[in-house]
Amino acid sequence: MRNIVVVGSQWGDEGKGKIVDWLSEQADVVIRFQGGHNAGHTLVIDGVTYKLRLLPSGIVRKNKISIIGNGVVVDPWALIDEINEIKLKGVEVNVNNFMISEAANLILPFHREMDEIREDAAGKGKIGTTRRGIGPAYEDKVGRRSIRVMDLRSEKNLDKRLELVLAHHNAVRKGLGKDIFEKDKLKSDLLKIAPQILQFSQPVWLKIDEFKKQKKKILFEGAQGILLDVDHGTYPYVTSSNTVASSAATGSGCGVNSINYVLGITKAYTTRVGEGPFPTELKNEIGEILGTRGKEFGTVTSRKRRCGWFDGVLVRQTIKISGIDGIALTKLDVLDELDEIKMCVKYELNGKNIDYLPAAAEDQLKIKPIYKTFPGWKISTNGIKDKNKLPENAKKYINAVEDFIGAKISSISTSPERDDTILVENPFKI
């Protein structure tokens, strides 16, 4: 039995969907363990495109069990819409192949509104959230006033929980001059959809224990990227959950000894959506080329991604923080037309060279990248499946990346198509 965690080693959008889909075909169980519908995976299977936000990638595969863990915040209306949407494409979603942790916390309408209010009020200091209520929902979770899936079972209990959470939110809303939320209307709306959510509710930690005893292969599917981790990312320009691999255990209800391999998905250059530090960002023609060739628009928000050179310092740091065993290098083909390619190998801060990302946002915004330059290969790598057939300059760049970050490159993606991948090692078969 081997259980694998897949995480993004940069700021998200590394192309996890394709890799997770390939791995989910070999897995028995696929688990989402953090985040919400602010993160998206795009899968293309037999010419059909699936854009998933909450549902684990395994849902599009037959005979797989897909799970939303306790670490995920769930907008129940968004989940129902996504289930209905994917059913229209012929995908089965039922109690036999899908379950939600009874301990998962819910995103409610006032969470979404608070997200929007804060972003609009922040002006130049905005974080760049997706405005889907993720942060406010996690705040209520930590504040112990959240509504969880299990609270939908009892009208009496739901009434008490709503009273508690609205006492907080309505006080804030009054102070901001906003209308208060009516408890009875919200309770009625939740009770109306409760049966659709509760049919999937399970003590997920117990089910995972059963799967382990049955020797099932489990794939833990992370959202966003490690540089958006609330503790280890470019704070405060981060998401509201822990995106590192170890949160797979916390966010699903299994011990860390359940994890056998951590795979970091890593783009051959760097992108970021939203605000915040980005040392290697290219606000020039090359940045536009990367964005155009890489089709760099968010799956969930359709926002244009900021693009820049590969930052080896950052990826080396996230590898250490998250315990990454191997790297899946994606979008190599996007670099095909460039005359030269650069990799950041250190930073300059206040006249001194440093080899790590400092914790303070003030310093992160001031650092200047120091690059190592490589000649481009000017030959198409699109669709190549054999590493030996890559252009020599592409091999040199890949080897330099591997040496610098200190982790093995286990696969190389040469196009959006799932089969256009150079496989060095299969994490499920090591």
Quick count: other Cβ atoms within 10 Å of Cβ 159?
A: 15
Amino acid type, 233: G
Beta strands in 102-187 (DSSP E): 105-106
Q: Identify the H or E element spanning 349.
A: strand 340-349
3-state DSSP assignment of residue 177: coil
Residue 13 among the catalytic residues: yes
Residue 41 among the catalytic residues: yes
Please say whether the beta carbons of 296 and 330 come within 8 A: no
Quick count: other Cβ atoms within 10 Å of Cβ 121?
A: 10
Give the Å distances, CA to CA, from 217 to 29, 92, 206: 6, 21, 16
Give the Å distances, CA to CA, from 346 to 59, 228, 343, 349, 367: 41, 20, 9, 10, 10
- Selecting among 13, 75, 115, 325, the annotated active-site residue is 13
- Selecting among 37, 41, 169, 232, the annotated active-site residue is 41
Please say whether the beta carbons of 407 and 392 come within 8 A: no
In degrees and rounded to multiples of 5, residue 100 shows phi and psi of: -120, 135
Please say whether the beta carbons of 384 and 420 come within 8 A: yes
Within 8 A by CB and 6+ apart from 78, the residues are 37, 53, 54, 107, 132
Q: Pairing between strand 218-221 and 201-202? A: unpaired
Active site residues: 13, 41
